[in-house]
Amino acid sequence: MKYKTLFLPLTLFIILYIYLIKTNEIWQLPLLLTMVLCVFSSWQLWLVHKYRTETTAAKKDLIEKNQKLESVFNHSALGIMLADRNGKLLDANPKFLEMLGYSMEEIKTLSYIELTFPDDREKDMEHYALALQKKLPYSKEKRYIRKDGGMFIGKLSASFILDDKGFPIYTVAHVEDITKEKQLEDHLKESQKRYRDLVTYSPEPFLVQRDGMIIFANEKACKIVELSMTELLGKSIYDFIRPEFHHKTRKTLAELQNVYGEAENRPLEIITANGRRLIIEITLKVIDYEGAPSIQAIFRDVTERRRLEKELRKTTERYRFITENSKDIIAFLSPDGRYEYISDSCREILGFSPKELLGEISFHYVHEDDAAEMSSIIIGDKAGTSDHFSLLYRHKLKNGGYIWFETVAKLLLNEQGKAESILAISRDATKRKEKERSLETANDFLKMLSNLDGLTGIPNRRSFEETLDHEWQRCLASGTGLSAIMIDIDCFKEYNDTFGHLAGDDCLKEVASIIKGSVKRPRDFVARYGGEEFVVLLPDTDLAGSRKVAELIRHSVREKEISHTASQVDHFVTISAGYASLLPENSQSPKELLLEADSALYIAKRSGKNRACGIHEYSAHPKRITVN
């Protein structure tokens, strides 16, 4: 370079020197030398300036390129690393550090093999050694182990940097995290496998056809058409469709191709390999199968269902004929009691048309006195017990009146055993109810007569015993006292002997009337106990109260002044009374109350008659109600 810079001034000097010799102006040689030196110096200065300018520009360009490379390195979406030929890591970009969870200081202490998933290390080392030997770039999918022990899958692309002799000294690699993509691929493969298994083992017959040829079928489809898998695959679908439907089927399949992916349901009649005719419902859908458009067909044998539907239509027609011509009202009710159907006979019996009752709650037409019993047909009350029940109640008429209805109902249950509706058959039971009421009235009258004493007209002993048991239970529940008074007419045998039995009967009637008139409360009860004995039952009464009533009865009989000249006590009829009171307990019985009253009556008789007595020796008993 330095010789080239001398070429121009030297050439100029030679030319001027020759010129001076030819012009005999050699004396001007010093001036010539000065000029040449000046030109040479200026040239040198210009060259230096040019060199410096070019160097600065190159340096600036190099800096910009380095900055760009550094930016790419630091902000790359791929992990980038640099390693020596032995695999020791020398540098890595932030993305690579993020992928593995290491810092730069940590990464420089590791080799690539330490970042490899343990199960893959031996195979990975063999692959790297082979690539290093060939000095060629290579790519592969690789499993990496993170610092936290987690694993990710990366797509590795590596190349080697060679020295002047072509010897590999560095490895440069970039890594793309494809874990999610691989997981999606695995999920897709698993999904495809599940789909194929689902189809293969589906309980529904399933096949795929393309251009009319069967290319896939499951075992259920083979069973329906009565062929083996080998026999079925490759057959035409038209082998199983009646000839008169071939044209229509081709048209349907052609139309379906134009609505790719949409399903269409339709019934179809097919013929099996053994000649059986079956009615099927088929769902057709265009799908991609093995990379080509195909038609998926899922079908089910509905031959039996169609037969049952036909039978059901016949049954329905018979049922409609029966309901429309029956004099009974036939109805279906929802679980909450709404009319879902009611036969036309409701017009004649109730005055309502079916349209007026549909959707209405049947309970609203029941007499309020019968509503509680009617509500027992609610499903929640009947479910799990009997599915049949009957009711007798009053149903409202359109004119506002009521008639007696007898309803026989049945719960209609679903597969889970829950009631779906109620079938009810009802008829007018008004005449029957009137007959029953007349019979009940007669029975009540007979019962009343059987409970009355034929002579005195007051309740007899049997009626008293029933009442005693009833009142005992009531007082036991309420915790109140129950009292009884046993009464006997003094010297009644002498009365009959003196005045005769007819007069004695009149005396009994008179005394019974006096006793009955002496008790005022509704629950107080008077009965003839037998012969000349009477009994009074006083609920919610203590011993003091029973004594007052006994004394009142005794005084009332004496003040009536019924003549009794044969009496050893007085000239008039008198009575003796024994009173007792108990606070009923479960360990006691009503008979104990009567025994105490009878014992008290015995004391009154032994003490001279015409008096009322109690069992005072029992007064210390904690459960006895005694006189203060």
Q: Dump pLDDT digits (tens) for 272-282.
A: 888 888 887 77
Q: Looking at the predicted structure, is the pLDDT value of residue 144 above 70?
A: yes
pLDDT value of residue 17: 63
Per-residue model confidence as pLDDT tens digits over 357-404: 998 988 888 888 887 766 665 544 444 456 777 788 888 899 988 888
Express each pLDDT in 287-325 by its tens digit. 777 778 888 888 777 777 777 777 777 666 666 666 666
Short-list 360, 349, 374, CA closest to 429: 349
Residue 114 known to be catalytic: no
In CATH terms, the superfamily for domain 451-618 is Reverse transcriptase/Diguanylate cyclase domain (3.30.70.270)
- What mean pLDDT do residues 503-507 have? 92
Quote the CA–CA distance of 230 and 182 in Å, as a whole number. Answer: 36
CATH architecture of 76-183: 2-Layer Sandwich (3.30)
List C-alpha distances in Å: 384 to 293, 377, 379, 425. 55, 13, 9, 22
Q: Give burial (CB, 10 Å; 0-12/13-18/19+) of 584.
A: buried
Contact indicator for 291, 215 with CB cutoff of 8 Å: no
Query: Residue 222 is encoded by which pair of tokens?
Result: 């083979």
Coil, strand, or helix at residue 489? strand
What residues does each domain of the chain span? 1-75, 76-183, 201-306, 329-434, 451-618
The secondary element (H helix, E strand) that includes residue 536 is strand 533-539
The whole-number average pLDDT for the span 62-87 is 74
β-strand partners of 117: none
Q: 79-84 and 151-162: which strand pairing?
A: unpaired
Confidence at residue 538, expressed as pLDDT on a 0 to 100 scale: 95
Write down the mean pLDDT value for the chain: 80
Q: How far apart are CA 558 and CA 561, in angstroms?
A: 6
pLDDT at 516: 92
pLDDT at 78 over 80: yes
**Mean per-residue pLDDT, 35-50:** 66
* Annotated active-site residue in 114, 532, 592, 617: 532
Res 315: pLDDT: 65
User: Is residue 19 predicted with pLDDT exceeding 70?
Assistant: no
Q: How much is the pLDDT for 617?
A: 42
Question: Domain 329-434 belongs to what topology?
Answer: Beta-Lactamase (3.30.450)
What letter represents residue 110's amino acid? L
- Contact by Cβ (8 Å): 217, 207: yes
> In terms of C-beta density within 10 A (0-12 exposed, 13-18 middle, 19 or more buried), how is residue 413 classed?
middle
| Burial environment of residue 301 by CB neighbours within 10 A (0 to 12, 13 to 18, 19 or more) | middle
Domain 201-306 has CATH 3.30.450.20: yes
Per-residue CA distances from 622 to 128, 369, 468, 579, 619 (Å):
109, 46, 22, 18, 8
| Fold match flag (201-306 vs 329-434) | yes
pLDDT higher than 50, residue 504: yes
Cα-Cα-Cα-Cα dihedral sign, residues 537, 538, 540, 541: negative
In whole angstroms, give the CA distance from residue 458 to residue 514.
Answer: 11
